[in-house]
Amino acid sequence: MGKTIAEKIFDAHLVDNPSGDIQVVRLDAVFCHEITTPIAITDLVARGKDRVFDATKIKAVIDHVTPAKDSKTALQGKILRDWARRHNIVDFFDIGRNGVCHAIFPEKGFVRPGYTIIMGDSHTCTHGAFGAFAAGVGTTDLEVGILKGVCAFKKPLSMKVNISGTLARGVYAKDVILALISKIGVNGATNRVMEFSGNVVDAMTMDQRMTLCNMAVEAGATSGICAPDKVTVDYLWPFIEDEYPTKEAALDAFNVFTPDADAAYTDVIEFDVTPLVPQVTFGFKPDQVKPVSDMEGEPIHQVYIGSCTNGRFEDLEIAADIIKGKQIDPGVRAIVSPATPDIYSRALSAGIIKIFMDAGFCVTNPTCGACLGMSNGVLAEGEACAATTNRNFNGRMGKGGMVHLMSPATAAASALTGTISNSPLFQPGGDNQ
């Protein structure tokens, strides 16, 4: 019997099988941020175990609330900063160099095909875009990861999601994943890895694959994962060119982690995206999804473009293309948060930041910010936000607020009208191929 990507990665990292279907795996990287790590650090100190398994494999960033908004968040940053310094964690990204964890760590080349990665953050599944097994964990698992470089998982089961057809113009990876979550439900992939494949995935850029994998957890998945290919190698090349003589050699090495044709999956989902139209959520669960056209005219109070789902360069580029030379509706306020300093800087050079500012957007520093209602754009009761984020739970962006999840194109178009609107790039009923 052949193996899935996750099974191959587990086989290569297996440390122990303490009982039944539990597998303890060696970790290639442990990612940390200031919200879930400080309590792990404090606990390690209290236990007299203030150690790290390998300072070069730990990467840390202050991203959720940055710069600190109050004394409590300042303390969280300080605990992480002091810890990184005393353990010589070189890859620590502090204010000025920091960005949203799931955007900055891949951008720095920290994610490789075949890696095992944990982080105290549910959207860690994003890094599966590189053919890594990357899973969100709680603080205790993180603490053990920091101390021992291992984590326990159930033997991974995988669901294959074959995405075929042709995406219409104005329809993006975000629309694909929203439609998919709607299809299988918020519990549809629980305790399974979603292995994405098909010609549509093959044609996606790394930014798009990260959007796809990012929301796997919204269907309950342990990780999203895409097989490594030429696109992966091209993205990683600046970081690996000293390790492999040619790109072909790198691809050969990474091909160890492509799935076997006869691998066993719990489910196989065939998803032809040719008829897919832009999608938007309407309730408090990420599987409550409708075509944007069914929600057009619904009033919004805020637009938020950013987050680990859709705050990358391509996302800003698409949104800027729609708002260029126009003004946001006077009834809304709009916020854009480039996900990393590098994305911000590139957007600045490309004139994208000016387009946002001229249109009336507030441009913030890179941070998770409003996505989870901690800072930089919290909603008031009764307000609605058109957001490129990943989670629309009740109260997520502020108590009594409503979050409508959508693509950057739909969010940009909605900023111009002050209501949920299809982007001009998408022509309903037209030839969008």
Partner 1 sequence: MKNFNGRVLFLDRSDINTDEIIPAKYLTESTKIALKPNLLEDLVLEGFDPQKDIEGKSVVITRDNFGCGSSREHAPWAFEVNGINMVIATGFARIFRQNMFNCGMMAVELDATAVDELFAEFAGEETAIETDIDKGIFTISAGEISRQISFSISEYDLSLVKAGGWVEFADQNY
Residues that bind partner 1 (CB under 8 A): 15-16, 18-20, 22, 24, 35-36, 38-39, 42-43, 47, 49, 64-65, 70, 72-73, 75-76, 79, 119-122, 124, 136-141, 143-144, 147-148, 150, 152, 186-187, 190-191, 220, 222, 285, 372-374, 391, 393-396, 399
Question: Taking the complex as a whole, how short is the minimal distance between the CB of residue 136 and partner 1, in angstroms?
Answer: 4
**CA trace torsion 79, 67, 321, 271 (10° rounding):** 30
Cα gap 340→345, rounded to integer Å: 9
Cβ(300)–Cβ(411) below 8 Å: no
316 vs 387, beta carbon nearer partner 1? 387
Structure tokens at 144: 């053990």
Q: For partner 1, which is the closer residue by CB, 187 or 327? A: 187
Cβ(55)–Cβ(32) under 8 Å?
A: no
CB of 19 to partner 1, least distance (A): 4
Compute the least distance from the CB of residue 235 to partner 1, in Å.
26
254 or 304, CB closer to partner 1? 304
Side-chain-side CA neighbours of residue 315 (13 Å)? 34
Exposure string over 361-380, b if 16+ CB within 10 A, otherwise e: bebbbbbbbbbbbbbbbbbe
Comparison of 36 and 414: residue with beta carbon closer to partner 1: 36
Q: In whole angstroms, how close is the CB of 300 to partner 1 at the nearest point?
A: 20
Nearer to partner 1 among residue 65 and residue 352 (C-beta):
65
Q: Provide the minimum distance between the beta carbon of 118 and partner 1 in the complex, in angstroms, as a whole number.
A: 10
Report d(CA 266, CA 159) in Å as an integer.
5
Return the HEC string of 326-389: CCCCCCCEEEECCCCHHHHHHHHHCCHHHHHHHHCEEECCCCCHHHHCCCCCCCCCCCEEEECC
> Could you tell me if 198 and 167 are in contact, meaning their C-beta atoms sit under 8 angstroms apart?
no
H or E element, residue 272:
strand 267-272
What's the token pair of residue 127?
A: 């890094």
The residue (of 389 and 421) whose beta carbon lies closer to partner 1 is 389
Distances (CA, A) of 411 to 169, 284, 399: 16, 18, 21
Q: Is the CB of 16 or the CB of 248 nearer to partner 1?
A: 16
Residue 71 C-beta: closest distance to partner 1, Å:
9
| Separation between Cα atoms, residue 320 and residue 50, nearest integer Å | 46
Query: Least distance to partner 1 from the beta carbon of 122, Å?
Result: 4
Nearest approach, Cβ of residue 396 and partner 1 (Å): 6
Of 254, 257, 259, the closest CA to residue 230 belongs to: 254
The 361-363 sheet, strands edge to edge: 361-363, 333-336, 302-305, 384-387, 402-405
Residue for token pair 């290639």? 28
- DSSP symbols for 190-238: TTEEEEEESHHHHT--HHHHHHHHHGGGGGT-SEEEE---HHHHHHHHH
**Which of residues 124 and 211 has its CB atom nearest to partner 1 in the complex?**
124
Minimum distance of partner 1 from residue 135's CB (angstroms): 8
Which of residues 139 and 293 has its CB atom nearest to partner 1 in the complex? Answer: 139
Residue from 161, 123, 199, 148 nearest 26 by CA:
148
Nearer to partner 1, 36 or 410 (CB): 36
Least distance between partner 1 and beta carbon 76 (Å): 6
